[in-house]
Structure 1
Amino acid sequence: MRRSHRIRQVVNYLNLSTPLGLLIARLGRARTRRGERGLVYAHGYRIPFPVAGAFTVGNVVLTKHGDGYLTGCLLDHESRHATQYAYCVGLPMLVLYVLASAVSYVLCGHPASWNLFERMAGLDDGGYPRVHPRWRRSRSV
C-alpha cells in the first residue's frame, strides 16, 4: 500500500468516517473485505438509499453489486471520495456533500453534475452525466 493510502486510512479511521462506513455496511448487510488502496469493499449492500452504483463513507466503498464491480475508473472515483473524507475531517463531508448536491440540483437539475465533490472525483469515472446549467441550455420556441 502506498504511503498516501496508509495515511488516508489512518486519518479516516481517527475522524470516525471509516467506523461510520463500517456501521452502515453492517446495517445494510453487506459483505466486507479488504480492497486495494487501503479501502474496504462492502458488496451486497441492501438498503435502497442512496440510489447509486457505489458510494463511499470514509474508506468504505459500499455497493449493492457483487465482487468484481469495484474496478477501474469507478474504483478511482470512489478512492478520490475517500481522500475527500480525509481532507474534510471526516463526518463534515456528509453535510458538505448534501449541500453540494442541492446546489448542483438547483443549477442544472441533477445532483451530481455540478456537485463540487463529484466533479473533483471525476464525473466520467463515476458514470455521471455532464448536464449544463439551466441558464446555458438552448431554448426552443
Structure 2
Amino acid sequence: MSPRAADTPTGGSISTLAPSRPQTAGQWVRLVGNLLNLTTLLGLAVGAIGGATFRRGPRGLILGEGYRYAFPAAGAFTIGNVSTTARSWNDLLRELPTLLTHEERHTWQYLYCLGLPFYVLYTICMGWSWLRTGDRAARNLFERLAGLSDGGYRDLPTRSVGAGFRALFALLRPRRH
C-alpha cells in the first residue's frame, strides 16, 4: 500500500465540496500550522493577485476559483491550506474526482516542511523527476506522496541519469537557423 493514502492524517478521500471546519485534531493542527508558517496567507495573496474568488471548502480548506495566470502550470495548485484553480472546482472535480484529495495532501506537505522550505525541496524533486523521466511530476517525491493518479499525473518509466543530462544539454544547445 502507498504511504500517501492511509498513512496521512487527512481522514481519507474528500467526497464533497461542502464547506466544513476541520474534522480531526490533525486537521486543526494543519490549519493553525499553515497559518503560523504563513503559507495559507501566501496562498490567499497569490490567489487574490491572480483574480481568484475564494470560498470555504471541506476540512478547513479554502478553495480559490477563476485564477487568471498560466503560472503555475497545473490544473490546480495549493499553497498552505488554499487550493486554487483557473476553473471552478465543481467542473474540475467532474473530470478528476480525486484531485482535491491530492491537493489536500499537499497542504500537509507545507506543514511538514515548515512552510516556505517546501518550495526549495519541491523544486529539487521536480528537477530530479525531469532528469529521470522528462516529466516534472512522475518521480517528484511530493507528487508521488500526494498520489500521482489522484492529481491526474502519469507514472512514467525512468531513464538513466546520463540520458537525462543529454536531454538537458540538448535543450540548452543553441538552435541553428
TM-score (norm 1): 0.92
Give the aligned partner of residue 127 of structure 2: 102
Secondary structure of the 1:41 match is strand
1:6 counterpart letter in structure 2: W
Secondary structure of the 2:64 match is strand
User: What does the per-residue CA deviation read over 1:95-130, in whole Å, with 9 as the maximum and x for residues that have no partner?
Assistant: 111111011000110000000000000000000011
- Note if 1:124 corresponds to 2:149: yes
Give the aligned partner of residue 31 of structure 2: 9
d(CA) in 1 for partners of 2:89 and 2:123?
Answer: 28
d(CA) in 1 for partners of 2:110 and 2:92?
Answer: 19
Give the aligned partner of residue 139 of structure 1: none
Q: Which of 76, 80, 99 lines up with 1:54 in the alignment?
A: 76
| Deviation of 1:47 (Å) | 0.9
- Note if 1:27 corresponds to 2:52: no
| Deviation of 1:70 (Å) | 5.7
Q: Where does structure 1 differ by over 4 angstroms across 4 or more consecutive aligned residues?
A: none
d(CA) in 2 for partners of 1:4 and 1:44?
Answer: 29
d(CA) in 1 for partners of 2:157 and 2:147?
Answer: 16
User: What does the per-residue CA deviation read over 1:48-105, in whole Å, with 9 as the maximum and x for residues that have no partner?
Assistant: 1011100100000010011414644101100000000000001110111111101100
Rg comparison, structure with higher value: 2
1:64 counterpart letter in structure 2: A
Secondary structure of the 2:73 match is coil
- Note if 1:134 corresponds to 2:156: no
Give the aligned partner of residue 87 of structure 1: 112
Q: Number of matched residues?
A: 136
Label 1:39 to 1:69 Cα distance change in 2 as closer, same or farther (>3 A). Answer: farther
Structure 1 stretch displaced more, 61-70 or 50-59: 61-70
Q: Which runs of 5+ in 1 are unaligned?
A: 136-141
Q: Which runs of 5+ in 2 are unaligned?
A: 1-21, 161-177
Label 1:69 to 1:81 Cα distance change in 2 as closer, same or farther (>3 A). Answer: farther
d(CA) in 1 for partners of 2:91 and 2:149?
Answer: 16
TM-score (norm 2): 0.74
